[in-house]
Amino acid sequence: MAEPRISHCNGTHSGHREPLKNGLHKKNGLCKAAQHNGTANDTLYKKPFLESFEEAPMYVAVLTYIGFGVVTLFGYLRDFMRAWGLEKCHMAEERKEQKDFVPLYQDFENFYTRNLYMRVRDSWNRPICSVPGPQFDLMERVTDDYNWTYRFTGRVIKDVVNMGSYNYLGFAENDPESLVLVKDTIQSYGVGVCSTRQEMGHLDNHKELEDLVAEFLGVEEAMVFSMGFATNSMNIPALVGKGCLILSDELNHTSLILGARLSGATIRIFKHNNMQNLEKLLRDAVVNGQPRTHRAWKKILILVEGIYSMEGSIARLPEIVALKQKYKAYLYLDEAHSIGAVGATGRGVVEYFGMEPTDIDVLMGTFTKSFGAAGGYIAGRKTLVDYLRTHSHNAVYAASMPPPVTEQIIRVLKCIMGLDGTLIGLKRVQQLGANTRYFRQRLRDMGFITYGNEDSPVIPVLLYMPGKVGAFARHMLEKKIGVVVVGFPATPITEARARFCISAAHTKEMLDKVIDALDEMGEFLQLKYSRLSRSARSAADEKTNLDLDA
């Protein structure tokens, strides 16, 4: 019987260094003052660091591979029948008017889409016709050609419990009283800027937002961008380039991966949250330098996320900071899913671990999750932000953040910080933590395998077998529960899952409805694979509903 991989750490850590004009250091080398071996160290963590990645029984992995093998076999059979005109569904073929053109997609490369994805395509891209709050409305659709196209029935599925949106603090709302300032901003500024920050797109509320973000994070300065994805993909190339080394966690988001590739820097991957592997790469980089020439790397940049959206795990930030200080590297922290979602006052994983913002060279985050808006930010020292204002393609070429979006973020930030004179923001942060612990505990009690950190509002529930992925999503929707299911190639082939995102706006009744449905589906689809001992169910009765009306 394989044991679950669970980590326990305790301790504290902090540090500080002076950057150069572009906000980053120039040399890499050994720092004799910082001694750390890259393993779990009791002196680095202030509280227990608990994460679980339980392995499934062997028979589950075997059946999963068999399931993919059967589906693949039937896929080739259908392609053969399609070639001989025996297949009823011809949607996978090129249209007659395209026969003389070079195929847009290669036949073999499109095999997965034709024969696997299309079988369960109805589990994704469901059209929503309401605010994506704790509940939403869905437009009902049906297919007449095996999920290749859809038609709407005109019926709306009302009050579906939303367990898939990143609405962590519940600010995706349409409360008229809360949105008065946003409405006034539209009347004063319009809905778009139609220019870049360096031209005619720099507004006074952009400056107000940047000052507020810097105050919230406890750093010297911040810069906001109109798109979260581009905040990573367009700013990383401005910080590193040829002759630099990027050490990237293997589970990093696509935006980080794209930014690293666009930079032209050398990229090396370390195993997820594996400090021994990271230190080995750092040591080799310092000792051996660049390939062939063995010159010292101009910069070494470590890329990590605060919360990993597919695993629900939290970066081992104290250990990573200790390593980056020991080897004089830089740290780029993506807090897209952690800012607002963890920490006593919602200030992300830096606050969660009790660390200083100056320990991190580049603080990045987005406003698309906890803030119910759009865009992203880069924060840190003033020299770093000033450098990006002139060197970032996002600042030079991309349109500025729309004024109503800016005002929405300002409204939410003031609410979280208590600058609006209420405790609503703080109570939502506390409510999110309570909801997260309650939901995770109940899932463990029922025997599901869940991944991630105890305090992460992203909760993956492992489904494993491909046939169960589509069935799970369809049956849950029948119970008026909207879930996100994820499978290969977005996950390893044997780790298909349903990803639940907890919100402060979820009431205990909503969570109990989902839990009851999961309990039923777990028995029906045989999804309760955990072999851990069940904890006392009395913990599940803990009161978690806090008053949000301050």
Helices (H), 374-423: 382-391, 393-397, 403-417
Q: Count CB neighbours of 76 within 10 A.
A: 11
CA separation for the pair 332, 378 (Å, rounded): 10
List beta partners, residue 544. none
**Do 245 and 268 contact (CB within 8 A), yes or no?**
yes
> How much is the pLDDT for 92?
67
Per-residue pLDDT of 213-245, as tens digits, reads 999 999 999 999 999 999 999 999 999 999 999
- φ and ψ of 19, to 5 deg: -90, 170
DSSP 251-264: T--HHHHHHHHHHT
The letter for the amino acid at 279 is E
Q: State which CATH number among 3.40.640.10, 3.30.1360.120, 3.40.720.10, 3.40.50.1820 fits the domain covering 176-417.
A: 3.40.640.10
Which of 525, 47, 18, 25 minimizes the C-alpha distance to 317? Answer: 47
Q: What is the DSSP letter of 55?
A: P
d(CA 94, CA 103): 8
Q: Are 302 and 330 in contact (CB under 8 A)?
A: yes
Structural domain boundaries in the chain: 66-122, 176-417, 424-543
Q: Give residue 187's identity as a one-letter amino acid code.
A: Q
Q: Is the peptide bond prior to 489 cis by the omega test (within 30 degrees of 0)?
A: yes
The rounded distance, in Å, linking the Cα atoms of 461 and 288 is 42
Question: Among candidates 207, 133, 216, which has minimal Cα distance to 425?
Answer: 216
| Cross-sheet strand order for the sheet of 362-366 | 221-225, 376-380, 362-366, 330-334, 300-305, 245-249, 266-270
Cα of first residue to Cα of last residue in the chain, in angstroms, is: 50
Task: Answer positive or negative: Cα dihedral of 9, 10, 15, 21.
Answer: positive
Tokens of 184: 């006034």
493 exposure class (CB count in 10 Å sphere: 0-12, 13-18, 19+): middle
Question: Which is nearest to 65 in space by CA: 527, 528, 493?
Answer: 493
d(CA 496, CA 114): 19
For 19, which DSSP code? -
Q: How far apart are CA 500 and CA 497, in angstroms?
A: 10
Asked if residue 484 lies in contact with residue 412, where contact means CB atoms within 8 angstroms, the answer is no
Element (H, E) at 366: strand 362-366
How far is residue 524 from each of residues 161, 190, 467, measured CA to CA in Å? 21, 52, 13
Cα 48 to Cα 532: distance, rounded to the nearest angstrom: 20
**Edge-to-edge order in the sheet of strand 135-142:** 135-142, 151-162, 481-482
Phi, psi values for residue 424, rounded to 5°: -60, -45
Which ranges in 118-225 belong to alpha helices (H)?
180-189, 204-217
**String of b and e for 127-139 (b: at least 16 CB within 10 Å)?**
eeebbbbbbbebb
pLDDT of residue 537: 38
Residue 210 dihedral angles phi and psi, to the nearest 5°: -65, -40
Dist. CA 175–CA 505, nearest whole Å: 13
C-alpha to C-alpha distance for 193 and 201, rounded to whole angstroms: 6
pLDDT in the model for residue 82: 81
Q: How far apart are CA 45 and CA 42, in angstroms?
A: 6
Closest CA to 341 of 306, 311, 389, 373: 306
Backbone torsions φ then ψ of 416, nearest 5 degrees? -65, -40
DSSP assignment letter at 345: T
* Fold topology of 424-543: Aspartate Aminotransferase, domain 1 (3.90.1150)
φ/ψ bin of 38: left (φ > 0), alpha (ψ from -120 to 50), beta (otherwise): left
- Active site members: 309, 337, 369
pLDDT score of 543: 45
Residue 448: both structure tokens together: 């599901």
Query: Which segments of the chain have a pLDDT < 70?
Result: 1-42, 90-94, 105-109, 533-550
Cβ-Cβ contacts under 8 Å for 373 (sequence gap 6 or more): 171, 367, 405, 408, 409, 412
pLDDT of residue 186: 93
State how far the Cα of 521 lies from the Cα of 481, in Å rounded to an integer: 12
Q: How far is CA 379 from CA 217, 229, 305, 323, in A?
A: 8, 16, 15, 21
